[in-house]
Structure 1
């Protein structure tokens, strides 16, 4: 049986091997503390679960949604105005069944085989996979520690920039946890206009900043809507990842194209999910602070605890992750990851799985309780892995 050559871009040997090793160790009776998968463990608010139960009990909600409800579109536009001071119309919004599918759909809308797409590295895998499925040629934009993990726009070759059709940007960033100052976005918009590049800004973590600053929207920059769109997800903000609720917002022509494509591949978001999203965006935002504070405290417990036992890693600026340099006596993030699994029974993700530029780091997801984090720190200390 012969599959499409595109399938080769979907293989993830590292993740498969890690899962196999985890199962093997658990079969031997070891308890694994898993910081690898970035799935929020914080429950949604009780109000969300109550509303979802109520809406799922209504037979009228089981028909095809087809389109976004007027109430949902109004909620998104109002939230963007209130939260980011960005004016958008209902024609500049379309819901996504999660940002993950949105990346693939946007690429299919914009990219012809051979088109150049600028992709940050290290990066979340779908940033690369979406364009690759559409036949794109990828050009890497390295996120380097010496640049505070910001894209160096000046380092992009002018010939490459002139060829580029799409550029993917994401701050707060997964996996590096970096945030971008407003000056960066101003320069980004000018760069994209100069070279006629469409910008997709993934803004999944704008509500999860830990340094007292407030996340902002790429669309708040003058001229941004002329050249780009933004994805915004409710998954992490409200801790409802399984509901798959996200939005594409911005340039009206791009949104129109996405809406047309979606009309051929899905029949809209489940109506109870639309009702939940509307309620979340128009209601109290107090629970967002609960979610943010939980990740902040977990990050602080993890970083301070690891520093005490000799693993010096920086506090995350935002997101729900820690981007940790591997100990100096290691040269391979994969080797260190396997040693953590075998000797401390703690799971992380090797930086190399986010691209070659991620080598030298591991990503730790803040998806365990503070007590479990403390147990993991004790296990790492006992393993002796931090000793030269």
Structure 2
């Protein structure tokens, strides 16, 4: 009976580790660059902004070179109590204001912006966070790929490397890169749907016009990924379109990761196995593969659970003398950690220094309160992330 129990508890992390390892090993090297010829389609860059007076001016300045006759900005000043809307107007860009204290969050702001565009819709809508930056070539690649293929497209979204940041922030930024770039590349090579990450997302109008945006989900991008893949519009990853932002402060990093991981696990519980079943029943391979992706917890939680269960299985094996489950799980864990190390050696050192890498055990301890809160079902709500670049006091009226 104890042998059976060891196998039962070893199988879930074994499966998750193998999926993670396959994605990260296949994603260790860049994808082949693609060109997107043809004229630039009419494009609106839709920017939801909540009290972004401290950063929106810089964001707009960086986007100035991108704006042209066919590419314009629309900022949704959502429940703002600062000068966000005024700053956007002074910069010469279109801004609409939304005030609804009962329906708060990015999804409602996006739906408000799309409704504003309906009378004169563009060919493409690119969703862009107010604290991000990009370049004209990336925006053109997103818009052309989206309209030409009538598909949803996700850019590479990274945090700017900062080896002067604390080890906790460096490790979190590295995990962010693994999630948003490495695993996306691996999934692309497997023929999987891309996972939307909230910014740098391009939509053809016929898709975004009917998308269920007005939601209070704290990871509305992941929920939208599931919906689009189920409805026959699986997102595609375009690696060479780049969007980046400044890393958050240490406390903001913890808050941000708490929100994202709580939301991810909620979506995974609701749609993970359902996506697997529906993918099999309908022959939707991309939906099935997305279900597999949802079975893999965030990296820190995956390592923490795998290590804990490996120790537990090892204790059981020492009692029964049956080491099969322990060896299988131990090998899967070793492969996963080797995959992470390979990616770190290839390109990850830009985000994670050697000393910070050695602090990984302390980082896992730092995350324990996050996971205890998830177990206790503590409520997590959306709020603007404080980044190192916007710690200056917001300007007042």
TM-score (norm 2): 0.30
**Greater share of helix:** 2
TM-score (norm 1): 0.30
